[in-house]
Structure 1
Amino acid sequence: MGKQNLEQTKGKIKLVGRVKGIGNDNAKKEGFTKSDKQFKSLQFFLETSTVNQVRVELFGMERDEVVAYSMKARQSKKIPWKNRKNDFGDYKVLGTGCYLEVDPSDSSKKLRQVLPEFDAVDYIKANLKDGDIVRINGEIDFQEYENKQGKVVSSKKFIIKSITKIDEKLDFNSPEFKEESKFEHDIVINDVMLDDENKRLHVNAKVIKYGGDIVDTSFTVDTEKYPKLAGNMSKRFGFGDAIKVYGLVINSVVLKEADESLEDTATDEFDDWGGDEEIKKDFDNNYMKDYIQELQITSVDSSTYEPKKYKEEDLISADEDAFNGDINSGSATSGDDFNDDDEMDDLPFE
């Protein structure tokens, strides 16, 4: 339910990886909404490393009109939907940025196409194939819905705002390879909980969407990699605090030994047959798959920290439980050093 006078918590993602699954029959879908508007949607995975892959999405539907903007006049105007593909001079229709084809006038550049999401779905599907390397800039759509059991659960969708095809090869196994699967987001703290067993600090937070809708979601901090960051968050964060966080979009599968006491039975050269053990691990009972899906915080912008920006009544309706777990009242001063690495305060996006 939306509330008035709440500041939208904005964010963005930046991904670079290999396209996977766009060739599948169900990658693109079409249909009609409840209001009888035609829609088109596109989903595929982006492999950002040997173990990480992020599902990205685009959804568009017919509208009554689109918005066109003029950089020269610095103003916008509305265009009827049926006329959206016409030439309006300095006014360009806003939408998804697509840079997938070679520019006929300059082969060193990609042709710029900005299309309403409805049209961008077809354009991306036609000009992208599995194995292509792309850069995606976008945003996270945090959502809540009621499942079949009647329980309210949260979900995250990674929405494409612009997509650029990269001609260079991407070698995940190269020593020079550096993964790009990043996010930044403004959040409002609910509470924090330490999970010693999994070496995680769970940061339960609220995001405020356009229009004032509030969605509960969660982030993590790896307490082994970032002990100072986790410690500061645990001690200082309290309900209603606001801050901008940065981190990694993780959706990976890791093979772990099911029983660490089990050792390799190959004791001599005769027992070692050689070959590649990786495929064998998928079928070996000594290994199990560990699925990791999280938005992992690696840094914060301490200059954005606003302790107790919101009160309980600002964020929680009367029929909700204000204390979903223990609330750490905390205390902090804006600008304090939260991070393990001071350089991580810098914005990780160009």
Structure 2
Amino acid sequence: MKSRDAINVIEIDSNNTTQIRTLYETIDQHKSMKKVINYEQFKDYLSKNIKYPEKYRKVIWKYILRLPENKKEYDLYSSKEIHPAVINFKKKYPLKIYRVLRSMEKIMSMLCYWSPVFENIDYLPNMIFPFAKIYENDTFTCFEILLTVIINYCQKWWEFYPNPPIECLDMLESLLSYHDKELYNHFVKYNITSQYYGWELINNFFSDILSKDEWLCLWDNILTSRNPYFLYYFVIAYLKNFKKSILRITDIDDFVFFIHKENPCQFSKIIKLTYEIKKCTPEDLKFKKILKPYYSLDSNTGYPIFNEYPKYIVNYQTKLKEKIRLEEEEYLKKK
């Protein structure tokens, strides 16, 4: 690790005077500054240190993502009653920390109002939980972070809902075939598809396979990358890191067990390998054009519309769930 003086940050104070401070000093004083923190300096810091200090992570993520801080529109979602699709959430997921449980319920409800596709996604709690845990006292920031992540890093995930994202998994297969033909051929031989070695890792934001510190380290790098492909590069790096173990697995059930548990590793090596894969992936490969470039949410407009899903299927599921819910309520009244 570098010392506290390793990364200097140029900042402009309220008197328009340029000063040079350490990264830490700048973050500590960020509230009183008009302009602080250079994105490239954050990238430089991360390239040398792999992860951000825990004390500053929440502030750093806000800066990196350039959240819109659209409190007016957030309040419109936040003031709504808990969405019907989330009413039974507390019963299904009785978390010990009530603040986190309440925060998750609120965020899930707002996401359902934002886009109906989230009413029917059973892995949604696993996506939200790590972020809600970090920002348990700041639902506003957590919600805007999740919107930014979904818009950028979950592109095309639900275009074929309820099926997995075919285009993304095709891209992942192409990546694996290019970077590790032996591993790719092993999966083909034993019928272990990208739905298992890709989708089941990604759709919960890797929360099943990583410890808390590893997960935070990964998302430091994902968010700082501002690169929608970074998740997929990480999947390849993770699989390559455990290549010897994976080549001994010939049964799908055994592989599913493997990718739904924490596997001890030197995580910094996997992160470094992720960057190596990113660097040596040819620009002209066809799958490089599948996803749109990263963009931050606009603070001058409302939250973006998210309708990249088969509406007739989602609408049917929503109506069916509502019908079942009303029938259950009617049944309980008659008892």
TM-score scaled by structure 1?
0.22
Q: Which of the pair has the greater relative contact order for Cα pairs under 8 Å at 6+ separation?
A: 2
Quick check: which has more Rg, 1 or 2? 1
Structure with the higher strand share, 1 or 2:
1
Bigger share in helix: 2
How does the TM-score come out when normalised to structure 2?
0.23
